[in-house]
Amino acid sequence: NFSRVTEFILLGLSNTTELQVVFFTFFFLVYAMVLLGNLLIIVTVRTDPKLSSPMYFLLCNLSFLDICCTSVISPRMLVDLFSQKKVIAFEDCIAQLFFLHFVGASEMFLLAVMAFDRYAAICKPLRYPAIMSRQMCWVLVFACWAGGFLHSIVQTLLTIQLPFCGPNTVDNYFCDVPPVIRLACTDIYVTEWLMASNSGLICLVCFLLLVTSYTFILVTIRVRFTEGHWKALSTCASHVMAVTLFFTPCIFIYLHPFSTFPSDKHVCVIYTVFSPALNPLIYTLRNNEVKASMWKLWERCKV
């Protein structure tokens, strides 16, 4: 009497009509800010020859990943807020899961590369042009995408091989590995630990690499402090703020086995919605070169 689930029902963030209206307004504005802010960064970096250093090349790629990450989640979430029954087809659920982990893991690797770039620029200034050449930047970005794809393929294959015969209610506003695999009609103990060791260790290792890079940077700045190093410290401080907002909830969600907490779906909002929205503010408001280039772009557009 085996019957395969053909669709899932998403419970969303709330069933209260008043809250759904508030959530829609808020998340719509945040999504618009993500799109406009990150697109503005991409256009600014691509049109200003002065922003041709590896840091801005990587920042441009980060903005593109932020757009992709939030676009996997936000449009459907906004539509579902006004749907009586938040239904998603099995194939669409798996596709959302795949692209979320693909883009999310790629962004984690890219943030680690950005930290290495700052380490090379501050701690190895004489060798920096050779270390972070244009060719090396392309290789590192490609490696980030390839690593994200490989991670996502593993997560997706481990999910679709499970039998789903009911129930089909996902306690979240999008399809993710932890809430979906708990609906499988089989013992998922081994699968849980395989996925936790995959996603959780990627989050933890990338975060530790980031912390290590910034620790070396802080030690270097403390030993030979100059005005240029003060500017570097300010840039690194904004990077630390961004990666903390992104990695902390990810580690909380994916590192422990999937006996999830009721608040998990609210924690997910931080890295799926807030972090992509804050990145443009963090990387532009604390960077005079980007702000100056944006102002020049605005002046050209007015003419």
**Closest to 189 in 3D by CA, of 258, 255, 253, 250:** 258
> Which of the two residues, 228 and 24, has the higher pLDDT score?
24
Residue 9 DSSP symbol? E
% pLDDT > 70, the chain = 89
63-72, 240-249, 273-282 — most confident range: 63-72
* pLDDT in the model for residue 1: 44
**CA 52 from centroid of its chain's CA atoms:** 24
Quote the CA–CA distance of 34 and 126 in Å, as a whole number.
36
Q: Which residues contact 52 (CB under 8 A, 6 or more apart)?
A: none
Write the CA distances from 273 to 114, 129, 139, 220, 278, integer angstroms. Answer: 21, 35, 29, 34, 9
Residue 138 has pLDDT above 80, yes or no: yes
Residue 156 in contact with residue 94, Cβ under 8 Å?
Answer: yes
The label of the residue with tokens 């807020």 reads 81
Confidence of residue 137 (pLDDT cuts 50, 70, 90): very high
Mean pLDDT across the chain: 84
Confidence of residue 149 (pLDDT cuts 50, 70, 90): very high
* pLDDT in the model for residue 104: 92
Section 193-197 average pLDDT: 82
* pLDDT in the model for residue 35: 92
Q: Which residues contact 298 (CB under 8 A, 6 or more apart)?
A: none
Q: What angle do CA 209, 201, 94 make, to 5 degrees?
A: 125
> In this predicted structure, which of 137-141, 160-164, 226-230 has the lowest mean pLDDT?
226-230
13: three-class secondary structure by DSSP: coil
Confidence of residue 228 (pLDDT cuts 50, 70, 90): low
**Closest to 158 in 3D by CA, of 112, 212, 194, 211:** 194
**Closest to 61 in 3D by CA, of 143, 127, 119:** 143
* pLDDT in the model for residue 110: 93
* pLDDT in the model for residue 89: 92
From 3.30.420.40, 1.20.1070.10, 1.20.1260.10, 1.10.287.3610, which CATH number describes the 7-302 domain? 1.20.1070.10
